[in-house]
Amino acid sequence: MSRSDGSSASSPWWHEGILYQVYVPSFQDGSGDGFGDLAGVVARLDYLAGLGIAAIWLSPIHESPLLDLGYDVADYRSVGRAFGDLDTFDELVAGAHARGLRVLMDLVPQHTSAEHPWFQDALRGRDGVHRDWYLWHDPAPQGGPPNNWASAFGGSAWTFHAPTGQYYYHAHLPEQPSLNWRNPQVRQAMFDVMRFWFDRGVDGFRLDAVWRLLKDEQLRDNPAGDEGESFEIGGAAAHTAVRQVQRYTADHPELPGLLAEMRAVADEYDDRVLLGELHLTLERVAALGGRRGLDVAMNFSLIDVPWRGKALGDLVRRYEAALPIGAWPNWVLSNHDRSRLATRVGVDRVRGALTLLLTLRGTPTLYYGDELGLPDAPVAAPRVRDCAALRTGDLTLGRDPERMPMPWTRDRHAGFTDPDVEPWLPVPSWATGLSVAAQEVDPRSTLRMVRSLVRYRHASDALRRGSVSVLSDDDELLVLRRESPRETLLVAISLTDRSRRLALPAGSWRTEWVTGRGPLGHVVTTAVVLPAFEAMILRRTRAA
Ligand code: NOJ
């Protein structure tokens, strides 16, 4: 593979490269059924490569009843009919690699679909070969579920199976039974699944719900409340049934050992990466990323933080302080489970937020459509598809709005699917105005800004691997200093609707990059004016 991702021989590609999440159902429909698929992704590889990213991470594409849109896998070695076939997958990997792009898959090791043959076998009886591949327990002595563990989608995490008289555990839907990772056969089966896809050229995995893999063997009750964990499923944070500290259902002391076993499987191949979904405190996420196991312990704190300069600055300091020596940071700005960036921070602050993501120290993860500044697209009741809304009956908990089909063109349905086919989620009429086609021709568009910043990042070793410090303590401004032996940069981001004067550290500075494409190349010494909601990168041209 060529090194178009800007990585260098001395550090792994995923340190300096940018990761981009493709939520496959919503990216591009290639088959004409209104649902995104692999043929659609293949058709958009040039667009993806043109972003300057290092890798795409594909949401699950396996055979699945799609109750949780693919996070309910019925066959780990397949491509599901809704998404295409193995040949198209091979074509995707070859096409991506030819363009210098890596391909990461979502691996869902915590649970299978209830339709998976392993679970179907487990249901047959207590003596079934696969019975112990799942977590079965007798009812509590007084009857009812074995303990108080709650499902992420609300209600008890235990479902009673009358024919065999036991409960099985599911961290999510009852149709997503959790696997028993203490069973060595489960480990071997899942490790073989990893090898199956590595052998097909996959460059790594994003491990779904990996912080939940092992549970307390004594089945102790979880305490009520939360201990500063981030939240896996957006609106579910507000859901009372989920307000339970995951003390005995997550972050088990033996988890690092299990992650190291997974890493050993990845080590059988060259250059493969493991990203882990971890909804824990920032300190625990930082610690798990510092151990042998996960290369990227995904840091979702930018999704939860109040979008103000001081809170953001404190977050950067806190995370940097928590990272063990040698651990590499990463930042996730959005994903398919949480309200979109533009909706969370407000349309005016999107460009500053993207600037922050792409100039922080560490691996950035972009969510599809954030490069266009897409907001959430509300979905009316009859069109709701997400189980988080359908199962709780609370439509505000649904994740459909952040999964809007990608708008590509000004055509009907914005080019996501054929104009005469109904897309699986509605494409609002305003989406065409934010489409790739519309933004390509607008020099001031968010898309063009992202591309130019990515180019700047690739060319700057201070941004790719320099140190970071936060210079501001101000709600309206965030100022970072990025420094390598060769360069010193200041990144200044305005979070306010008024121009602000920014006093500069001693030395001479040149304005090099501005979100609104304001005047560049000015040499300034004492101060610079930062226009409302803009971001600016300055380079030190002379020390004090
Ligand atoms: C986390 C995934 O990101 C989410 O979409 C899914 O519902 C749960 N894990 C269960 O797999």
> Cα separation of 359 and 361, whole Å?
7
> Cα separation of 318 and 316, whole Å?
6
Residue 69 alpha carbon to ligand 1 centre in Å = 9
| Confidence band for 2, pLDDT divided at 50, 70 and 90 | very low
Look at ligand 1, atom 5, and give the residue with the nearest C-alpha: 337
pLDDT at 6 over 90: no
Ligand 1 pocket test target in 206, 208, 242, 249 with most atoms within 8 Å of CB: 208
Among 208, 229, 251, 400, which one carries the catalytic annotation?
A: 208
List all residues whose CB is within 6 A of at least one atom of ligand 1: 68, 71, 108, 172, 208-209, 232, 277, 336-337
pLDDT at 274: 98
> Cα separation of 432 and 421, whole Å?
16
pLDDT at 5 over 70: no
pLDDT at 9: 53
Give the rounded percent of residues in the chain with a pLDDT score beyond 70: 96
pLDDT at 4 over 50: no
Higher confidence at residue 518 or residue 355? Answer: 355
Atom of ligand 1 nearest to the CA of 72: 11
* 446 Cβ contact partners less than 8 Å away, ≥ 6 residues apart: 350, 351, 354, 371, 372, 373, 439
Atom of ligand 1 nearest to the CA of 111: 11
pLDDT in tens, 102-122: 999 999 999 999 999 999 999
Look at ligand 1, atom 3, and give the residue with the nearest C-alpha: 337
pLDDT at 107: 98
Residue 68 alpha carbon to ligand 1 centre in Å = 7
| Confidence band for 448, pLDDT divided at 50, 70 and 90 | very high
Mean pLDDT of 201-216: 98
- 236, 397 Cβ separation under 8 angstroms: yes
pLDDT at 371: 98
> Cα separation of 37 and 28, whole Å?
6
Ligand 1 pocket test target in 67, 71, 170 with most atoms within 8 Å of CB: 71
- Distance set, CA 280 to CA 227, 251, 302 (Å): 9, 8, 13
Residue 71 alpha carbon to ligand 1 centre in Å = 6
- Comparing CA positions, the residue from 101, 112, 152 lying closest to residue 134 is 112
Residue 209 alpha carbon to ligand 1 centre in Å = 7
Domains and CATH numbers, the chain: 16-109+183-207+271-278+289-310+328-450 (3.20.20.80), 117-169 (3.90.400.10), 467-543 (2.60.40.1180)
Give the global pTM: 0.96
pLDDT at 243: 76
Residue 108 alpha carbon to ligand 1 centre in Å = 9
pLDDT at 3 over 50: no
pLDDT at 234: 64
Ligand 1 pocket test target in 105, 337, 402 with most atoms within 8 Å of CB: 337
Among 217, 254, 261, 268, which one carries the catalytic annotation?
A: 268
Pick left, alpha or beta for residue 317 (phi over 0 → left; psi -120 to 50 → alpha; otherwise beta). alpha
370 is catalytic: no
Chain centroid to CA 304: 13
Atom of ligand 1 nearest to the CA of 153: 7
| Confidence band for 17, pLDDT divided at 50, 70 and 90 | very high
Q: Tokens 């550090």, residue?
A: 11
Residue 535 alpha carbon to ligand 1 centre in Å = 33
- 6, 16 Cβ separation under 8 angstroms: yes
- Distance set, CA 261 to CA 28, 163, 257, 267, 487 (Å): 36, 36, 6, 10, 39
pLDDT in tens, 69-78: 999 999 999 9
Look at ligand 1, atom 2, and give the residue with the nearest C-alpha: 208
| Confidence band for 519, pLDDT divided at 50, 70 and 90 | low
Atom of ligand 1 nearest to the CA of 71: 11
| Confidence band for 237, pLDDT divided at 50, 70 and 90 | very low
283 is catalytic: no
The kind and range of the H/E element at 50 are helix 45-50
pLDDT at 538 over 60: yes
Residue environment code for 177-215, b if the CB has 16+ CB neighbours within 10 A, otherwise e: bbbbbebeebbebbbebbeebbeebbbbbbbbbbbbbbb
Residue 230 alpha carbon to ligand 1 centre in Å = 14
Mean pLDDT of 458-487: 97
Look at ligand 1, atom 10, and give the residue with the nearest C-alpha: 71
CA angle 291, 292, 293 (to 5 degrees): 105
pLDDT in tens, 373-412: 999 999 999 999 999 999 888 888 899 999 999 999 999 9
